[in-house]
Chains A and B, each alone.
Chain A
Amino acid sequence: MSNVKTEHRPARRFQSETLLDLVSRWAFMVPAGLILVAMLAYPILYTLEISFALIDLSTFQVTEWVGWENYEFVLSDSRFWASLKVTAVYLALSLPLQMVLGFGIAYLINVEWKGRGFIRALFLIPMVVAPVVAGGVWRMMLDPLYGLTNYLLSFVGLGPYDWLGDSWLAMLTIVIIDTWRWTPFIVLIATASILSLSRDIFEAADIDGANWWTKLWSISIPLLLPMIVATFIVRWLGAVKMFDIALAATGGGPGAATQVINLYIYEEAFRSLHFAESAAMAMIVLVGTMMLTGVFLRGSRKLEDLY
Chain B
Amino acid sequence: MHRFAVTHKLRIGGGIVVALLFLLPVFWMVLTSFKFQRDIFTTPPTVFFTPTLENYSNYLQRSSIPYQMLNTAIVAFGSGLISIFTGAMAGYALARLRIRGAGLLGVLILMSRGVPPIALAVPMFLVGRSLGLIDKHIFLILAYCTFLIPYVMWLMRSFFIALPKELEESAMIDGCSRFGAFFKIIVPISLPGLLSTLIFCVILAWEELLFAIVLTNRVASTVPVAIANIAGDTVNGANWGALTAVGTMTVIPVVIFALLVQKWLIQGLADGATKG
User: What separation, in Å, do the CA atoms of A1 and B122 have in the docked complex?
Assistant: 54
- Given A1-B173, A29-B99, A125-B255: A285 and B119 within 8 A (CB)? yes
Q: Complex Cα distance A10/B206, Å?
A: 55
Q: Which residues of B contact A261 (CB under 8 A)?
A: 116
Once A130-B251, A140-B243, A266-B210 are accepted as A-B contacts, the answer to whether A240 and B258 lie under 8 Å apart by CB is no
- Does residue A46 face the partner (Cβ distance < 8 Å to B)? yes
Is there contact, CB below 8 Å, between A231 and B22? no
Cβ proximity bits A4-27 to B, threshold 8 Å, 1 near / 0 not: 100000000000000001001111
Least CB distance from B82 to A in Å reads 8
CA distance A261 to B210 in the complex (A): 13
Give CA–CA (A33, B16) in the complex, Å. 46
Q: B228 to chain A: which residues have CB within 8 Å?
A: 132, 136, 244, 247-248
CB distance from A267 to the nearest CB of B (A): 10
Chain B residues 97-145 with CB under 8 Å of chain A are 97-99, 105, 111-127, 129-130, 142-143, 145
CA distance A163 to B17 in the complex (A): 24
Given the known A-B contacts A36-B149, A122-B19, are A227 and B119 also in contact in the complex, defined by CB atoms under 8 Å? no
| Inter-subunit contact B15/A108 (CB<8 Å) | yes
Given A122-B23, A189-B269: A148 and B28 interface contact (C-beta under 8 Å): yes
Check A183 for interface membership: any CB of B closer than 8 A.
Answer: yes
B23 to A286, Cβ gap below 8 A? no
Q: Are B276 and A234 in contact (CB under 8 A)?
A: yes
Contact pick for A40, options B122, B146, B257, B267, CB 8 Å? B146
Q: Provide the B36-80 mask, 1 if CB < 8 A to any CB of A, else 0.
A: 000011111100000000000000000000000000000000000
Question: What are the residues of chain B within 8 A of A135 when measuring CB–CB?
Answer: 231
User: Per-residue 0/1 for B9-21: is the Cβ within 8 Å of any A Cβ (1 yes, 0 no)?
Assistant: 0011011101100
Is B195's beta carbon under 8 Å from chain A? no
Assembled-state Cα–Cα distance A130/B254 (Å)? 9
Neighbouring B residues of A60 by C-beta, 8 Å: 126, 129-130
Task: Indicate whether A94 reaches chain B with its CB closer than 8 angstroms.
Answer: no
Which A residues are CB-close (under 8 A) to B90? 28-29, 31-33
Is the CB of A237 closer than 8 A to any CB of chain B?
A: yes
Interface of A is mostly: helix
A128 touches B119 (CB 8 A): no
Question: B196 within 8 Å of A by Cβ?
Answer: no
Assess whether B192 is interfacial by the CB under 8 Å rule: no
User: At the interface, yes or no: A256 with Cβ under 8 Å from chain B?
Assistant: no
From known contacts A24-B177, A136-B227, A282-B118, infer whether A119 and B273 are also in contact, taking CB-CB under 8 Å: no
Residue pair B273, A234 in contact (C-beta under 8 Å)? yes
B99 adjacent to A43 (CB under 8 Å): no
* 8 A Cβ contacts from A77-134 to B: 105, 108-109, 111, 113, 115, 119-134
**A to B CB contacts below 8 Å, 19 in the list:** A25-B93, A32-B149, A33-B90, A55-B126, A108-B11, A126-B23, A130-B227, A133-B251, A136-B243, A140-B240, A146-B40, A180-B25, A189-B274, A192-B270, A231-B273, A243-B210, A265-B122, A285-B119, A289-B116
